[in-house]
């Protein structure tokens, strides 16, 4: 055998190894670069076509509902700017639906209306320059309708745009929706207590009537809230100044929400998009500036939520931009029917609150499982990854204190089986804060492939089986705080911290020390 052959083989082997090394390096760099930036997500970047849905669970192929080629323009059927046009809009919707469906067009202009009720096979289309201004008076939202408010079924105002048990409905266009004006709607909102203390869970729903008559309180109307509907599209519109949650599909199947812009800064409970006890949902290319959570998954509250027992499941959120709000993407706090099979990917959260947020309460039941988060960029004012299962005494009394002993019961919530990967945290006060509950600790969370710059690292109470892998953490603090924890592990994690190692503070309540595997440290100079 010639000596040339082994030499050539060695060269080829070395070349292959270098190629594989470079391929792995390029793959890692591509993985980091694949995480979108602010300019690549949100309503301004919405394409015309809906890309196929890819998720770590089976998911129906969702497509836009198709409407017959029948059109009505409200200006052509008697609508006048400056006058209330509720009846004309409703007449147009009813006639189109009765004749097989079509599109009701709201032309350019300022139009005043009360509650609008969508019907099957109708697309309510707001042309560019159109603005629908909703009434601030309760009388324009009566009679009461079946709805769900903060996870409890009631008979109240429903929504500015409402639908019940309809199919193939849409709200589209480049126009604006402006929420209720100042008036009795905002003045008579129930604010004196939490809803489960106000609405008896053993009272028949048909008798839970809150109509504001005689100055009595009402539950505020949501902005857009179809209930028991199928094949729903909400696309392109801008929502401003809601009285309550903005877009809230309830008990719906096959929902597409894309390209919407929501502004509710300064509105208490002004959530952006809340998916409630619905399935097969796609949310994409939305821009959110809200007075509460930007995106939230909900499934009923307390005993009433357990009675209904309908989960939110098979939801994909992608290419969304959270610019302001308490949480970028939130689970809860109403989770009685369970949140499962949620996939959030390729989003940017620049809000001032928490980034990825999980919240429920001891008396509210349910929780979440099979939750997936991938390729997300965060710059938040509070915590990048936040679990809060306790809440505040204002809402749940003594149950907000983890030292309050509570036995496992039907209302005990659980969070488990959560995967979070490929994050860039450009800034946050905390990387991870977990307030679990002793009787049902948070469990089975895997965090991997993260680059994070935060002021503090980990504060973990009541959790087990938490794994952090292939991660770079740059923090101004070297302390990890643990209370009642088990199996908290770090594998292939690089800490850039003030000290030469991490410090562990294990409180009196006990817990394991952390498990460290292949961990490295880089001391930050000049930080105390």
Domain extent listing, the chain = 293-528
* pTM for the full predicted model: 0.93
Q: Is the pLDDT of residue 18 over 50?
A: no
329 pLDDT band, cuts 50/70/90, is very high
Return the half-sphere exposure (C-beta side, CA atoms, 13 A cut-off) of residue 337: 22
Q: Once rounded to an integer, what is the mean pLDDT over residues 478-506?
A: 93
293-528: which CATH architecture? 3 Solenoid (2.160)
Q: Could you tell me the two tokens for 218?
A: 């009402």
For residues 7 and 18, give the distance between their C-alpha atoms in angstroms, rounded to a whole number. 17
* CA quadruple 206, 207, 210, 215: dihedral sign: positive
Distance CA 246, CA 242 (A): 6
Q: Which pLDDT score, from 0 to 100, does residue 524 have?
A: 78
Exposed, middle or buried by CB within 10 Å (0-12, 13-18, 19+), for 377? buried
| The two structure tokens encoding residue 277 | 């006890």
Q: How far is CA 523 from CA 410, 475, 497, 514, in A?
A: 48, 10, 5, 20
- Assess contact for 273 and 247: CB atoms under 8 A: yes
Q: Each residue of 50-68: pLDDT tens digit?
A: 999 999 999 988 999 999 9
Task: Give the pLDDT of residue 395.
Answer: 80
**What is the reported pLDDT for 393?**
80
Q: Are 462 and 488 in contact (CB under 8 A)?
A: no
Structure tokens given for 399: 């149950």
Q: pLDDT for 422-437, tens place per residue?
A: 999 999 999 999 999 9
Two structure tokens written together for 416: 């488990």
Q: Average pLDDT, stretch 99-110?
A: 98
Output b/e per residue, 294-307; b: 16+ Cβ within 10 A. Answer: bbbbbbbbbbbbbe
Per-residue burial over 22-47, b if 16 or more Cβ lie within 10 Å, else e, is eeeeeeeeeeeeebbeeeebbbebbe
Peptide bond into 75 cis (omega under 30): no
**For the segment 343-358, what is each residue's pLDDT rounded down to a tens digit?**
999 999 999 999 999 9
């Amino acid at each position: 055998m010639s000596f040339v052959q082994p030499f050539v083989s060695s060269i080829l082997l070395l070349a292959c190894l270098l190629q594989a090394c470079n391929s792995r390096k390029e793959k890692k760099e591509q993985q980091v670069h694949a995480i979108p930036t602010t300019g690549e997500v949100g309503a301004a970047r919405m394409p015309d076509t809906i890309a196929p849905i890819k998720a770590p669970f089976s998911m129906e192929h969702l497509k836009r509902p198709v409407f017959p080629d029948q059109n009505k323009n409200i200006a052509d059927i008697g609508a006048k700017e400056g006058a209330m046009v509720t009846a004309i809009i409703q007449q147009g919707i009813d006639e189109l639906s009765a004749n097989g469906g079509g599109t009701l067009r709201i032309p350019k202009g300022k139009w005043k209306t009360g509650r609008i009720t969508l019907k099957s096979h109708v697309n309510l289309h707001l042309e560019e320059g159109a603005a629908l201004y909703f009434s601030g008076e309760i009388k324009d939202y009566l009679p009461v309708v079946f709805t769900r408010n903060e996870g409890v079924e009631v008979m109240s105002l429903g929504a500015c745009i409402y639908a019940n048990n309809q199919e193939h409905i849409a709200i589209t266009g480049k126009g604006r929706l402006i929420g209720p004006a100042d008036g009795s709607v905002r003045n008579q909102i129930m604010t004196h207590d939490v809803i489960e203390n106000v609405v008896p869970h053993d009272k028949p729903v048909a008798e839970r009537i809150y109509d504001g008559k005689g100055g009595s309180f009402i539950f505020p109307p949501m902005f857009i809230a179809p209930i028991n509907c199928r094949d729903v599209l909400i696309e392109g519109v801008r929502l401003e100044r809601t009285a309550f949650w903005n877009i809230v599909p309830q008990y719906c199947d096959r929902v597409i929400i894309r390209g919407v812009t929501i502004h509710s800064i300064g509105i208490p409970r002004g959530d952006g998009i809340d998916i409630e006890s619905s399935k097969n949902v796609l949310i994409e290319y939305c821009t959110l500036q809200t007075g509460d959570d930007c995106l939230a998954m909900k499934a009923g509250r307390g005993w009433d939520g357990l009675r209904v027992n309908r989960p939110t499941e098979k939801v994909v959120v992608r290419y969304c931009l959270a610019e302001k709000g308490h949480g970028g993407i939130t689970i809860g706090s109403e989770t009685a029917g369970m949140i499962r099979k949620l996939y959030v990917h390729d989003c940017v959260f620049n809000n001032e609150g928490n980034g990825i947020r999980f919240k429920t309460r001891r008396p509210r039941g349910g929780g979440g499982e099979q939750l997936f988060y991938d390729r997300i960029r965060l710059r938040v004012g509070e915590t990048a990854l936040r679990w809060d299962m306790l809440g505040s005494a204002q809402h749940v009394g003594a149950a907000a204190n983890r030292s309050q002993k509570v036995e496992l019961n039907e209302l005990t919530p659980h969070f488990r089986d959560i995967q979070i990967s490929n994050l860039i945290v450009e800034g946050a006060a905390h990387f991870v804060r977990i307030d679990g509950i002793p009787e049902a600790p948070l469990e089975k969370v895997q965090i991997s492939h993260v680059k994070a710059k935060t002021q503090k690292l980990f504060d973990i109470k009541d959790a087990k089986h938490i794994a952090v892998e292939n991660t770079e953490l740059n923090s101004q603090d070297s302390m990890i705080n643990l209370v009642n924890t088990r199996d908290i592990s770090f594998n292939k994690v690089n800490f850039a911290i003030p000290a030469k190692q991490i410090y562990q503070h294990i409180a009196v309540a006990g817990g394991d020390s952390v498990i460290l595997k292949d961990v490295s440290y880089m001391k930050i100079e000049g930080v105390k």
